[in-house]
Structure 1
Amino acid sequence: MPQFKPFKGVRPTEETSQNFVTLAVNQYSKEELENYINTKDNSFLHVILPTWDETIKDSKEKFKKVRENFEDFIERKILTQDKSSFYIYQVIQPDGRQTKGLVGLVSIEDYKNNKIKRHEETIERRVELFADYLKESHFHAEPVLLTYKPTQRVDLLIDTEMKRKPMLKVSEENGVQHLLWRVDNRLNLKQFKESIENLNELYIADGHHRMESSERYTQYATKNSEDEVYGNEAFNYTLALLVSNEDLIINDYNRLIKDLNGLSSQEFLSALEEYFEIIPKKDELTVPTKKHHLVLYLDGEFYSLFVKNNILTTEGLSELDTYIFEENVLKPILNIQDSRKDSRVHYEKGTRSKAGIEALKNKVDHSEYKAAFAFYPIDVKDLQLISDLGLKMPPKSTYIEPKPLSGFPVFDLNE
């Protein structure tokens, strides 16, 4: 059963929160980052500004400067540190969709022992870069997103706490609201801790690279500790947001293809017929309606592709349309053998609606892409099945929400 611990969160105050918290840095373009830095003050992006400061050549110095900025924000009381707490985090979308979860610390040892299960391969370069960042900055500002099979006791505890007024409330420009409650009552802390630790396992929904980098940081901190290491030190844990799989929102992740590997459109469709039942939809905007229903957009027309049963031969992975697409379309027909590196395939986040299909159509009609494939969102139960079997999904199989804000709250590894 996985460990779950409260921590002394570092967070903005009610007065500074709206300006301080931001989206994760990779959610901004270079131009948006520059505009944000130049037009706003005292945000999390100002804390991590040295990471893209081209006047600082040594990456270690960049990350040290981030730590200095973080401590300066605490000293100037832009940030404050709580006593040991759990936090409840809720996200409310403009369309009324809501997700809620519990923020606390999970054990790196549990991750190593597969009590925290993964479903995605990581890219070494990204893992090493963030591990180097942690070695100098010594804080986590965004949690790994974990999910668990629903349990009534945890839901009841969270719902009870949420009857109180939230401690912090922040609104994005697009209308998305982020609310935070703090749990610091000793009895309530004990109840939350015991309820989570009664779960058999946790699953990584989003944040595989962050989790892997955290393990590297733990190895580094253990090796360089001047004191004997007992396992309860802060560096043996990482920040996590735990969300029931019933609250998790999994969106589709679609594919744009630059060329048909020398095939004509008709030859391409004929090759697909080996693996799919194909129903032409002409110019009717078509959305996948269920698992194993893909949609192709090619030469101004839509096609519904239904997976043939005879190719569903691989346990676990055959539940994933992205895997079926990799093994039966990308590799044998388009000769795209490594979709992580081949520039002929591009990944496009979906919206679970016609708006996402319309966006794919526009990119094919007005840019360099020859075709688009749309997928039905992967079911969270299939994500957990892949993790339980020790398998890995193809890259960009899911786009998962909620996407927590940066700095809401922060886990200081020097606490």
Structure 2
Amino acid sequence: MANIKPFRAVRPTRDKVSLVASRSYQSYTQSEREARLDHNPYSFLHIVNPGYKYDKEISGKERYQLVKNRYSEFKEDGVFVQDKLPSFYVYKIIDRDHQVFNGIIAAASVEDYKNNVIKKHEDTIESREIIFKDYLKTVGFNAEPVLLTYPDNANISFIVNEVQKERAEFEFTTTYRDTHYLWEINSANDVQTIANAFAEMDTLYIADGHHRSSSSALLCDALTAENPNHNGKETYNHFMSFLIAESELKLHEFYRIIKDLNGLSKEEFLIQLDTIYRIDNRGIMPYKPSKPHHFSMYLDGEFYSLYLRKNDYTFKTALDQLDAQLLYDTILKPILGINDLRNDTRIDYLSGKKDVVNLKSMVDSGTFKVGFGMVPATIEQLKAIADEGLTMPPKSTYIEPKLRSGVTIYEF
């Protein structure tokens, strides 16, 4: 059973939420960050980039303490206020493409993560886990929820739909033309109904936020060891999550772009591909695959379709069926010599949400030699891989929705 709890979020005031909310720090270009920091004193970027105040790059423990200081200042100035009652928060996004995402922001259990009630499908990097654990321990809050998905549930959907008939606590539109809404749920009946619905679920799945989850587990262990009065009810026993029904989750692929052909000529490369793929030259017109185990390839100014010769390939696990893994097993590793997908500088990734023309331009620029596209993974594949205790290659899925930082904050 999944243990999902309401919590007392720290939130911006209604009049300032649109100014506070920000995308993840890494998603901005330097000029975009500087523009927001120069002209918006309420941006959450001021908290996560505290050195900007001193015109200095600051890292490590010194930065963590300054993040805590900036956060405290936002609370002292009344920009952030903590809710009086533990609540679930219904969060809705309508993006520029008119896609609608509904979910619930809540506290998920670290114990559930450790016991595999909350299942993962990606490996984490230990050094990143430790860095983020140390960051969380110093600053004392988390502003980016882990994205969890669950089977569609009629009771939860009913409450989510009913609460949206009332005026939203927050409603704001970003410069990306996404509109965000937030409602509080703190009535005893609704809170219990939601908690009971999740308690009846055997498994939740991490869709996005594997490092945040693992770091929260490390933080819980550290704070438990330091607390002689630990009783399991402390806030550090949970971590902030955005729970979304499987039917509302949107998965995109990632393109793979490679800097060279591993010493092969174009003709030698195509001949090696021919042993396991049926290859058709599609010319200059952009091509995207429409079926699993079909790939697009852009090489030397032309698009190609690659169809797996299934008689020569055997699938043994759910991971084998994943196209990102198949591409690695049949092309990236044996032909192009890319063994370490996380650290090899010869490979890069582009979100499949962007047009295939972006892939073409990267190759045409000469920075990259060849690019590959595939169909997106499915939620069923993600779950099957997690259920088998396996992990996807990095950048196997680009998952929506993407929430803004600083809209709800979870304190430890």
With the length of structure 2 as denominator, give the TM-score of the two structures. 0.96
1:98 to 94, 97, 100: 100
Look up the match of 1:363.
Answer: 362
Look up the match of 2:277.
Answer: 276
2:316 to 305, 314, 317: 314
Look up the match of 2:116.
Answer: 114
For the residue of structure 2 that corresponds to 1:332, the secondary structure is: coil
Q: Using the TM superposition, give the Cα deviation of residue 337 of structure 1 relative to its aligned residue in structure 2, in angstroms.
A: 1.0
Please give the per-residue CA displacement for 1:191-221, whole angstroms capped at 9, x wherever unaligned. Answer: 1111111111100000001111111111111
Provide closer, same or farther for how the CA distance between residues 103 and 371 of structure 1 changes in structure 2, counting only shifts above 3 A.
same
Take 1:306 and 1:166, find their aligned partners in 2: how far apart are those partners?
A: 49
Q: Please show how residues 193-232 of structure 1 align to structure 2 within 5 Å.
A: 193-225=195-227, 227-232=228-233
Question: More displaced, 310-319 or 330-339?
Answer: 310-319
Q: Using the TM superposition, give the Cα deviation of residue 284 of structure 1 relative to its aligned residue in structure 2, in angstroms.
A: 2.0
Letter in 2 for 1:124: E
Take 2:216 and 2:51, find their aligned partners in 1: how far apart are those partners?
A: 18
For the residue of structure 1 that corresponds to 2:101, the secondary structure is: strand
Please give the per-residue CA displacement for 1:34-75, whole angstroms capped at 9, x wherever unaligned. Answer: 221111112211122226777576722321222222122122
Take 1:85 and 1:44, find their aligned partners in 2: how far apart are those partners?
A: 22
RMSD: 1.5
Provide closer, same or farther for how the CA distance between residues 173 and 57 of structure 1 changes in structure 2, counting only shifts above 3 A.
closer
The reply on whether 1:28 has 2:35 as its aligned counterpart is: no
Look up the match of 1:374.
Answer: 373
Look up the match of 2:334.
Answer: 332
1:157 to 139, 156, 159: 159
Q: Using the TM superposition, give the Cα deviation of residue 131 of structure 1 relative to its aligned residue in structure 2, in angstroms.
A: 0.9
Look up the match of 2:144.
Answer: 142
Unpaired stretches in structure 2, ≥5 consecutive residues: none
For the residue of structure 1 that corresponds to 2:5, the secondary structure is: coil
Please give the per-residue CA displacement for 1:144-183, whole angstroms capped at 9, x wherever unaligned. Answer: 0001122222222211111212110121102111111111
Look up the match of 1:80.
Answer: 81
For the residue of structure 1 that corresponds to 2:337, the secondary structure is: coil
Q: Using the TM superposition, give the Cα deviation of residue 30 of structure 1 relative to its aligned residue in structure 2, in angstroms.
A: 2.6
For the residue of structure 2 that corresponds to 1:106, the secondary structure is: strand
Look up the match of 1:17.
Answer: 17
Please give the per-residue CA displacement for 1:115-148, whole angstroms capped at 9, x wherever unaligned. Answer: 0000001122221211111011010101000011
Letter in 1 for 2:101: T
Look up the match of 1:5.
Answer: 5
The answer as to whether partners of 2:288 and 2:356 remain within 8 angstroms in 1 is: yes
Take 1:56 and 1:44, find their aligned partners in 2: how far apart are those partners?
A: 17
Q: Using the TM superposition, give the Cα deviation of residue 27 of structure 1 relative to its aligned residue in structure 2, in angstroms.
A: 1.1
For the residue of structure 2 that corresponds to 1:246, the secondary structure is: helix
Look up the match of 2:306.
Answer: 305
Look up the match of 2:403.
Answer: 404
Take 1:58 and 1:332, find their aligned partners in 2: how far apart are those partners?
A: 39
The answer as to whether partners of 2:50 and 2:70 remain within 8 angstroms in 1 is: no
For the residue of structure 1 that corresponds to 2:355, the secondary structure is: helix
Q: Using the TM superposition, give the Cα deviation of residue 411 of structure 1 relative to its aligned residue in structure 2, in angstroms.
A: 0.6
Look up the match of 2:253.
Answer: 252
For the residue of structure 2 that corresponds to 1:328, the secondary structure is: helix
Take 1:311 and 1:137, find their aligned partners in 2: how far apart are those partners?
A: 50
The answer as to whether partners of 1:51 and 1:63 remain within 8 angstroms in 2 is: no
Provide closer, same or farther for how the CA distance between residues 161 and 172 of structure 1 changes in structure 2, counting only shifts above 3 A.
same
Look up the match of 2:47.
Answer: 47
Letter in 1 for 2:240: L
Letter in 2 for 1:67: K
Look up the match of 1:348.
Answer: 350
With the length of structure 1 as denominator, give the TM-score of the two structures. 0.95
Take 1:2 and 1:51, find their aligned partners in 2: how far apart are those partners?
A: 40
Provide closer, same or farther for how the CA distance between residues 297 and 43 of structure 1 changes in structure 2, counting only shifts above 3 A.
same
Q: Using the TM superposition, give the Cα deviation of residue 287 of structure 1 relative to its aligned residue in structure 2, in angstroms.
A: 1.0
The answer as to whether partners of 1:51 and 1:59 remain within 8 angstroms in 2 is: no
Take 2:403 and 2:256, find their aligned partners in 1: how far apart are those partners?
A: 25
Q: Please show how residues 165-204 of structure 1 align to structure 2 within 5 Å.
A: 165-204=167-206
Take 2:51 and 2:120, find their aligned partners in 1: how far apart are those partners?
A: 28
Take 1:331 and 1:235, find their aligned partners in 2: how far apart are those partners?
A: 41
Unpaired stretches in structure 1, ≥5 consecutive residues: none
Letter in 2 for 1:376: V
Q: Using the TM superposition, give the Cα deviation of residue 313 of structure 1 relative to its aligned residue in structure 2, in angstroms.
A: 2.1
Identity over aligned residues, as a percent? Answer: 36
Look up the match of 2:134.
Answer: 132
